[in-house]
Every structure is written in structure tokens, then in C-alpha cells.
Amino acid sequence: MSATTITRRFSLLPEDSDISLKIKSYKEITNLLVKVRALKNKYVSLMVNDIKINSYRSYNSSSMSQFRQAVYDRLNFSQIKSTQFQSIQLKERAKQCAFYDAYLVVREWVKRIENLKIIIGELIDKFRQDKAFTFLFLRGKRFSSKELKVFKQVLNQDCFKKKQSLSIFFLNNFIFQLRNLFLAQNDFESKALFSDISLTNSLKNLSRETFKSLRLDDCLLEKVATGFSRIKKKKEIAILPSELPEYVLDGYFRKIQWLTNRKAQQIISLREKIKKEDAKRKSSANKLVEYSKSLQNLVGFISTFIGDAEFSCEKEFKKKRKLILDGFKKGILEEIVDLDLHQLITEAYHKELLDFRQNPNSYLLKRVFKPNFPRIKIADINHDSFIQYFEIKLQYKIREFLKEYFISEQFISLMIEQFREINLDIYNLVKIPEHKTLSISIINRDVYKEDFTNFCSSKHYNYYKIKIGLESHQFKNYMVRDRKERIKRLKENNFEPALPTITLKNHKLLLNLPFKKINKDSSKPSSQVHNNLDIEMGIDLGLKHFAVISIWDKRQDIELARYFLGPRQIFDMNFNLDDGKLYSQKKVRKNKKGSNLSNIKLKLIRLREQIVLLQKKKNNYEQRLLLCNITNYRAKLKWNKIRRSLSLCWDRLNRLNIQIVNHLNNYVIKMARFWNVSVIKVEDLRWATHSKKRDAGEFMAFWQTHWFYSQVQNAVKLQCDLNSIKFQKVPAKYTSQRCSCCGKIGSRAGKQFSCPYCGLKLDSDLNASRNIVKYRNNNIYNTKSN
């Protein structure tokens, strides 16, 4: 027996018709939820103190009756009162509902801490054995699944002896939290380097002594002089010290070319805009003035590098720039023939040490192990400008090598001791969970009564009636608005409403109502159609296309249909239920450039770029204030504006991702219904690997590492349970490399797959979807399709 649960959200409205009574009712429910939130936080603090004094063994059970006896009655929580709105008297059952939320939060908090304690033990072993791992840990590097294999094995069960399967993302999250705890205990500001005040622990004292003992010896000189390299034919080639000035000079001019290219493109586009504005009959004078000012600034910027060179297109600009820059390059090359590299490295070293004194608010270990390399600004093109650029490059190379002087056997042994202390005191170091949202989970019928049998109608909307009674001897009536009649349709499909969660969000009262359906065997397909058991579907989630689908007839062993679902297919086309084909929509809203096609990937890339820029802007603003000894940057208006803009961008990005998942899920289920599919097969994500950024592109390199693949599969699995379709995961190993015709390993070049044994040539994603749909335990590959 299994159960399928679907949660739907509805708005709750007071039944009062008078507006003043409605406002009063909203205010009352807000005050109640504020009081419940304060009570939940009080329960959390009391349970945390109980765990610290006794242990977490009383929190083992997830049964309502058992944990209520073990914790609620034992700690006498019925007598605890909330500090807010003391005139409101909550029911005993309402207190138990508040306790339920607090208990679950504390239970998850305990599981997280016990997982951290296990990870600390494994980290200590890694620090002893592998110095390179210690470097990566302190640098804050995200580890791969291969590096975290041991961690995943020891964390196959939680502290309550229940099975858990933690993803690589979660394991990295745990390691980052431990790194932050370690740095919070042992890192210190740079101003302490230049004082004689004794620090709190031996690791801090060792770090300060190491910094004071830094010397520019021959070893560091040689490392910096030979530390530069270039990539040629995918091989790293070291730069000799004699070739270093010329190598840096090439980089200097490449940067100038990059800067001037961008400005030249902006100048050309501004000139076109000014022409268009002049051609208009009613052109805006303000716009013309603004464009002219911007154009003047850009021309002035380029003139500092190449003078007053006139150009009409980018190609002409590059030709003129090449002639001018070649002359500058020859002149600088002649001046740096006798350049003293030793003296430049010495000056760069002293500048790096001076930088620690000039930034007293920066933290030593964070700066040393995860150094920041700001972009070098070039304001002019001459010998002095190049020497300054060269010194900064050498300074960055010194900054890169400084961490090697801090990691020593003594540092690692002290680091292990600090982690042992963190392990002993971790319950006091990890932040206590806090409830911030205004919500309450209903766990009994004494505070909640529903009537989903009588459907009421009004002039504006249709609704059901429910009663909520959190206060003593009071029940208040609310309306559940259901314009689409979702409750009625779910009940017709044998779904029964369960106990809900009530939330107040954005000044709206919401009812999160779960519906449950008991399935005798949800994995068995229905036999409504006589040949339904013979047809299967394979889905390959790809990079260029979101999904490539292959519909296969198992009895005749032929492919019935194939679908390539990309942005255009799922946003600009409709699936015809008459012939099973995709057709373009009749009415498609045009974008600004006049194109009818949706470009959701470009939107996501632009959003990601905007998020990165806002995050940098926020961090730079914080650093500027810290340099001025202003620590309350969170109270600044500018910081809060940037934070809100960043939050809105993330919200929009998540909405677009959810929209893609919903569209894709809708198409998959429509196709499965049309072809009477009995089994839907997908790749097992536990064996899937992510592509590199250079292969996947800027869009998918970020996107695929998040929840997209798993979200699509979970959505499809839920629809399979609702439509009595079997859902099966198959191993992802070699699905895109094995030939779907003969079963032997072929060759793949981008989107093209070719088999040298049977001569098959087709799209690599389609080949993978065929391998998925034809997967059997005996792996037989015979096909009649081409």
C-alpha cells in the first residue's frame, strides 16, 4: 500500500461582508499567528536547553502521541505562555500545534549537528593524511562526489538510526558550515598583526608569528619568477624569467584591446541611436543630450589609448588601433630590455605586506587561504603604466603563494585540536533555529473544522466554508476560494483532504491543503487499453534540449515516435491530441526585436549575469564601509536597495525554472496519455555526471548543478502515480556512448553519435533516450528502426 499526496494552496477570506469587520478579522488572525510564532520560538529554546543538559534521545520518535509524551508532557509545555499578546488565550490543542512545528525543527537541528560531528571526525583523518585536502578545505573549494565518497558512506544513517541519502550539495554545505565555524573561532583582523596584545588561542598566535617571520628569500623569489605559465594545445607551459616581461606585456596589450573593443562597440551603437533620434520628427531633446554626453565620455576614454582616431565600423577601428598599439609596444619593449625583475618582485612583496596594514578590517586566514584578485585598472598607455601593471601581477602571484608558508605540521596539529574543541562544544556554536514565518500546522480537528461537501456561490467567486478556533471557546468562519473547482475534481478522483497548514504571507492568508489518495499498487500500470503494456517511453534530459523522448513499442520492437523538447517546443508550440504532433501556436506575442520565438535560456543567462553584478556591488559596498570602520552596513539604505534587487532577481530566476519544469512535465504526460504508455523510464541521477563549463556553456553549467533534473523527474513521477503509469529509473552509465542498435560503445562528437560497428549515425541525445527506453536486465539490443 502506498499513498500519493498533492498539496494545493487556497486563499482564506473572512466570511464577514462588512469591510471594517474583515479588516478586524485579519488583524485578529495576524495577532494570533504572531503569538503562535513567539510560542514556537519559546518551545525551541526550551527543547534546545533540554538537549544540552540531558541528550537528544527523547526526540527519537516521529509519532505524534509518542513525542508528545516524551517531550511536551515531560517538560510541562502546557504551562508555558507566549510573551506577546498576553490577553489572547490559546487553546491547549493550539499549543500542541505550535509544539509540533517547533519539535520537527529541533529534531532536524539535532540531526544536522550529529551529521556535523561525524564529518568532523572524517575531516580530522583527511587533514592528517592529505595536505592538499587541507588547502582546498581552507580555500572553501566545493568537493566532487569522488572526494566525498567516504563522507557519504558514514552518513548513510542519521543519529536516530533512520536511513538518509545526502546529496553532494548537502555534504558540501555541511563542510562549508564547519569551515565557517573554524574561521569564526580562529580567524582575526589584520590590525592584530601589528600589535603586541596576546590573542585568545595558540593557532591565532602561530598565524601572527608566521606572518611576522615572512621574508623575501630566494625560494619565494624563484617561485614568483617561475610561477607564470600559458596554455598551448591544452598543455601548460612554464614561462622562463627571461621571457616574463614580454609575456606580461602581451597580457597588458590584450587587456587594452579588450577595453577599447567594448568602448568602440558602445560608440558605434550610440551613433546609430543618435541618427535614429535625429530622423524622428518628434525626437526627445533629453535623450539626445544624454546620448551625446555618453558618446563624448567614451570617445575621451578611447583617445587616452589610441588618440583621436576616426572610425565608422569595428573592423576599421581594429585596423587603426593595431597600427597605433604596435608602435607603443615596440617602444615599451625597448625600454624594458634591462628591466630588473628582482627589484620589481621586491617592491611587489613590500606592497603586499603594506596592503595588510592598510586594510586592518580584513581577516587574516580568509585573506591568505582564499585571496581576492581584483581586476587591474589601466588608465593610460606608457612605460610607467606598464610597470605598475607588472608590479600588481607580481603582487597577485606573491599573494597566491603566501598560503604555503602558513600551512605547517604545527598549524595542522593545532587545527585538529581546534576541530576537536568544536566537536565538544558544537551544540553551543551552531545557531539555534528560529521561526520567522507566520504559520501554524494543524494536527487535530479540535482547532479546525471543514465542510467541503457544500459548495457556496457568490457574485464574485465560489467558495467552501471552514472554521478555525485557536482561541479558547471561539471558532471563526472563513471562506476557501476555489474558482477552478480544484477541490471538487480531486475528490472525484478519490483524493481526500487532510489537515492543512495556515500561513500569513505578503498580507495574504493562505490555506496549504494536502490531499491524500491510498493506492493499492501505484507502480502497476492500468490495463484500460489492450496493448498498453507494450509501449514504453524513455526520457533523456539534455543540455541543448531540455528533454529528448523516444516512444517504443516493445512487442513489435520499433520506435513509434520521437520528440525533441527545447525552449521553442515547450513555450511556442502545442501538442495536438489528435495526431500526436507539435504545432506552432497561432498567436505568439512578439518580443522587442520582432521575433516570435521564446528565448528562455537567454533570460536565465541575463538574470545570472545581473545576480553576479549585484552580488559584487553588495560585497564591494560592504568592504568600503568596513575600511571606513563602519560596521552597521545593514542599516544603510543603499545596502538594503541592493539586497532587495538581488532578492527579486533570485525570485524571478526560480520562477522561470519552475515554469520550465511545469511545461516540460505537462508535455511528457500528454504524450504518455496519447500513446498509452505503460512505463516511463529516466536516468538514475545517482550515476549522472555534470558536464564541464566549456562543454555545457554558461547557461547549463550553472543550471544543471541545481535541482532541474531531479525536479523534472519528481514532477513526472507524481503524474505517473496519478495516471497509473509505472515510473522506472535506469543506470545512466554509458547511455550516451553505447549504440542503441548493436549495444557496443561508439563515438560521440557533440550532438552527433556514430557507431563504427553497425554504422548507425543519429543525434546523441536520441541515442541516449533509446538506450534508456530499451534498458532491460539482460541488456538485449535489437531494433528495426533506422
Indicate if the pLDDT at residue 521 is higher than 60: no
pLDDT of residue 656: 86
Find the range with the poorest average confidence among 173-182, 332-341, 383-392, 593-602: 593-602
Q: What are the beta bridge partners of residue 456?
A: 463
Q: Which pLDDT band, with edges at 50, 70 and 90, does 782 fall under?
A: very low
Low-confidence winner among 193-197, 223-227, 401-405 (lowest mean pLDDT): 193-197
The answer to whether residue 543 scores a pLDDT higher than 80 is: no
pLDDT category of residue 586 using cuts at 50, 70 and 90: low
Q: Which of 172, 174, 199, 171 is nearest to 187 (CA)?
A: 199
Q: Specify whether the CB–CB gap between 71 and 59 falls below 8 A.
A: yes
Task: Report the pLDDT value the prediction gives residue 582, as an integer from 0 to 100.
Answer: 87
Comparing CA positions, the residue from 728, 737, 742 lying closest to residue 773 is 728
Contacts (Cβ under 8 Å, ≥6 apart) of 748:
736, 737, 754, 764
Section 244-248 average pLDDT: 93
In this predicted model, what pLDDT tens digit does every residue of 526-539 receive, in sequence order? Answer: 444 334 568 999 99
CA–CA separation, 172 and 142 (whole Å): 6
**Is pLDDT of 590 > 70?**
no
Residue 559 DSSP label: E
Does the pLDDT at position 610 exceed 60? yes
CB 751 within 8 A of CB 763: yes
Q: How many CB atoms within 10 Å of residue 513? A: 25
Q: pLDDT digit string (tens) for 258-299?
A: 999 989 998 998 888 888 888 776 667 777 888 888 888 998
As a whole-number percent, the residues of the chain with pLDDT over 90 amount to 37
Query: Which residues, at least 6 apart from 298, have a Cβ–Cβ distance to it below 8 Å?
Result: 263, 266, 267, 270
552's torsion region: left (phi>0), alpha (psi -120 to 50) or beta? beta
Would you give the DSSP letter of residue 467?
E
Give mean pLDDT, residues 43-55: 93
pLDDT of residue 522: 42
738 touches 717 (CB < 8 A): no
Report the chain's mean pLDDT, rounded to a whole number: 85
Q: What is the pTM of this model?
A: 0.78
Instruction: State which amino acid sits at residue 746.
Output: G
525 or 731, higher pLDDT: 731
d(CA 744, CA 593) in angstroms, rounded, equals: 47
pLDDT of residue 566: 87
Quote the pLDDT of residue 743. Answer: 79
Answer yes or no: is pLDDT of 423 > 50: yes
Least confident of 68-82, 182-196, 251-265, 732-746: 732-746
